[in-house]
Structure 1
């Protein structure tokens, strides 16, 4: 799948584009709008990027986890090579290494919550200026239809391409949404 980014300041046009894409077979889980004006996105019924995905919590949490692993290795190595375990047993150093691992992971996640996702950092100025970032994850078989529809929207400015959410995640989201919206 390919991800296409567009910038626009016309939410009515983006709403129309989203409906056209949905009518042509692109699932709502493939379409996202990033904006600092969440209330207007809600008013226009646009599929906004959730706050979890806007932040860099996953990446920073993984970095914190790696730092915690390093701290745990240092604690356990010091304990082993210094011979302290013969005096105090292994329980305190193991406990300290587990606490260090958890604390570093937690701190990494807290750090990441405060930062914008690294994928969206390039749009920071556009968002400050009140523009909206419209992006779509498109399968290769959807590409011609997508390009045809986008050409009918001259207010869009191409902002680049990038890697998309893995297709298996998108399919899982589609199945989950069908399951949760199922009514007998």
Structure 2
């Protein structure tokens, strides 16, 4: 499954692209539209982005988790060394490790909740000016046919990239762009 992105001048063209993609067999649930005005998107019965798609919460939480694993190992070694020989050393070490891991994951998610999704960061200014970005989740076998049809039917649709549908916590910049 590939995610194909298109940059469009406004929501009217996004609706045309949505209708065309559905006519070509793309399920309504696999079409996501990023636009500044969420209410207008919903009034046109288009799939607006969910909180998890619009913000970088999941990917930043994953990064926090990975950093937390490293901090957990260091915490576990330090607490175990400090409490060596104590009867509850293993329980305290386990609890301290879980607190560090949970806190780092939570903090990563909070940082991501205030930042644009890394896939939408390049389009931040375009979206602020009233443009829209359409994300189509398409089977890899039908991508070329769909892109040809879209290029012919909607010349205003500017191809903006392709990516895997699953997020990789190491993709994108480590410097997050704050959501406005």
With normalisation by structure 2, the TM-score equals 0.80
- 1:133 maps to which residue? 133
Moved more, 142-151 or 67-76: 142-151
Runs of 4+ in 1 over 6 A off after TM superposition: none
CA deviations 1:100-150 (Å, max 9, x no partner) are 111111111111111111111111111111111112233223532442244
- 2:12 maps to which residue? 12
Q: Secondary structure at the match of 2:85?
A: helix
Asked whether the 8 Å contact 1:10–1:155 carries over to 2, the reply is no
Question: How many angstroms apart in 1 are the aligned matches of 2:114 and 2:87?
Answer: 40
Question: How many angstroms apart in 1 are the aligned matches of 2:74 and 2:52?
Answer: 32
Alignment: residue pair count: 164
Question: How many angstroms apart in 1 are the aligned matches of 2:17 and 2:114?
Answer: 31
- 2:67 maps to which residue? 67
Change in 2 beyond 3 A, CA 1:60/1:10:
closer
Question: How many angstroms apart in 2 are the aligned matches of 1:67 and 1:141?
Answer: 38
Where does structure 1 lack aligned partners over 5 or more consecutive residues?
A: 167-184
Report 1:2-81 matches (<5 A).
2-81=2-81
- 2:96 maps to which residue? 96
Please report the RMSD computed on the Cα atoms of aligned residues, expressed in angstroms. Answer: 2.0
CA deviations 1:21-45 (Å, max 9, x no partner) are 2122111122211111111111222
Question: How many angstroms apart in 1 are the aligned matches of 2:48 and 2:97?
Answer: 40
